Chain A
Amino acid sequence: MQSLGIDVLFKGRNLLRLLGGLWVAVRISLISVALSIVLGLLIGVLMTGKSPVLRGVFRLYLETVRILPQMVLLFIVYFGTTRLFGWNLSAEVSAVFVFTFWGAAEMGDLVRGAILSIPSIQRESAQALGMTPRQVYGYVILPQTVRRLIPLSINLITRMIKTTSLVMMIGMVEVLKVAQQIIEANRRTSPNAAFGLFAVVFLLYFAICWPISRLAGYLEKRWA
């Protein structure tokens, strides 16, 4: 074990600190994912709507988000807008904002695709039963959309969780940053800690993402 440098993990409160860092990453992604799903559903519905103006606006939004690296977005929001508008955004709020801004766009596009993949006859048979447009969406289109979304959005959610590692660039101490700090602090006594700790970080990410992807598999089968 000595050679792998994992023993560093059990020195002092290192393990707890690492888990605390993991919680920061998970918290940011949980909040962002939840907001992204809600906003994404709304955006997806609007993107399939009749208004060409709205469709154009959301198209532009989506392309913008896709072109900009998330890190640039983080910098713009955390360093740029705080300066420009003089408001006081914490790093966490900035991070949630950026991840939601990104997630809602991607989710919106997934929702749009999922809605369009539902045969129009489903909508028509709901209309023929006398449903209002809102009821058609609420009882027929969206429940089926959500089922089709699961496998697609899981991919996005795990990508978002992994990308939270960027928030250390705006000074947040999340799991990867904690690992770095521990490695730095133990550079003399355990020079191999970099391998051991990053391996542990890898396993932690795996421990978070794997159950989510299992859950997706399960839901997919159940709702197929």
Chain B
Amino acid sequence: MADILLELRHVHKRYGENVVLRDLDLTVRRGEVVVVIGPSGCGKSTLLRCVNALEDIQGGEVLLDGQPVRQEAKNISQMRQKIGMVFQSYDLFPHKTILENVLLAPLKVQKRQRPEAEAEALALLERVGLADRRDDYPRQLSGGQKQRVAIVRALMTHPEILLLDEITAALDPEMVHEVLEVVLDLAKNGSTMLIVTHEMAFARAIAHRVVFLENGEIVEESRDPKAFFTRPATERAQRFLRTFEY
């Protein structure tokens, strides 16, 4: 069990009367890519937001490396540095340049030295093909470019796991590819990721494990994505996957 990185135990989340996550258990091993799919409103995004305690939970616990991640805990900002997150709407800081965006956390939160952090930032920006945009502001970039910067920004704190929350949902179709390329590249290099997506082809290509979520419960879980996407075991997953066919 030593290689378990993230563990959700009996996580229960509700907004008032509305239960979003029901007694949910999920583990992610180091180096594993887990993709969560499901109909909209099924609690996928909430699940990710509970992992780094952007949402409080009403029951259960989230453990990273065996340590609890709790919103009210003193060490929450340290724990969040180990959990990188990229959002649907990129959310770069509009008042900072690309380089400042990716350097903010390493310099101000982690107090790293500028030359070293900057070298790493530029190397990562180079890797996503955006080193020449370092002094531009987010508004000068396309959606796909912004999302690649957001990935770099999340990587700069050296997270042990990356949470990707529908990162291509707000992009024009022709930009989806360039972003997913970056994510595939990360997966190849052994990054641990928990991904929520509507891109089924991408999910199939990248997942080590697929989790199908509906009404706040895990309906089906498969270690064989190819089999899952061709012949899901449950009727509910079948019905969901059929909605992607025309």
Contacts and interface: CB of A to CB of B under 8 A. Distances in A.
Given A124-B54, A125-B85, A139-B104, A130 B91 contact: no
B91 A125 contact: yes
A121 B80 contact: no
Nearest to B110: A130
A139 B108 contact: yes
Interface residues of B, number: 25
B97 interface: no
Nearest to B90: A125
Contact of A147 (B95, B105, B109, B157): B95
B83 A143 contact: no
A128 B77 contact: no
A132 B52 contact: no
B117 to A, nearest CB: 13
Nearest to B163: A128
A131 interface: yes
A125 B54 CA distance: 9
Nearest to B165: A128
Contacts of B154: 128-129
Given A135-B109, A139-B104, A129 B95 contact: no
A139 B95 CA distance: 10
Interface in A127-145: 127-132, 135, 139-140, 143-144
A141 B232 CA distance: 45
B105 A131 contact: yes
Contact of A129 (B79, B89, B94, B104): B104
Interface string A102-133: 00000000000000000101101111111110
B95 A121 contact: no
Interface in B168-227: none
B91 A127 contact: no
Given A124-B54, A135-B108, A139-B104, A129 B91 contact: no
Contact of A122 (B81, B91, B150): B91
Contacts of A126: 93
B238 interface: no
Interface residues of A, number: 19
A87 interface: no
A222 to B, nearest CB: 11
B153 interface: yes
A128 B85 contact: yes
Contacts of B108: 131, 135, 139
B85 A131 contact: no
Nearest to A121: B91
A223 B95 contact: yes
B87 A129 contact: no
A130 B157 contact: yes
A129 B54 contact: no
Nearest to B150: A125
B130 to A, nearest CB: 18
Contact of A127 (B78, B80, B157): B80
A139 B104 CA distance: 8
B93 A128 contact: no
Contacts of B81: 129-130
Interface of A: 119, 121-122, 124-132, 135, 139-140, 143-144, 147, 223
Given A121-B91, A129-B105, 14 more contacts: A122-B93, A124-B87, A124-B91, A126-B93, A128-B54, A128-B83, A129-B153, A129-B154, A129-B157, A130-B81, A130-B109, A135-B109, A139-B108, A143-B95
Q: Top 6 A-B pairs ranked by shortest CB distance? A: A130-B81, A129-B105, A128-B85, A125-B91, A130-B80, A130-B77
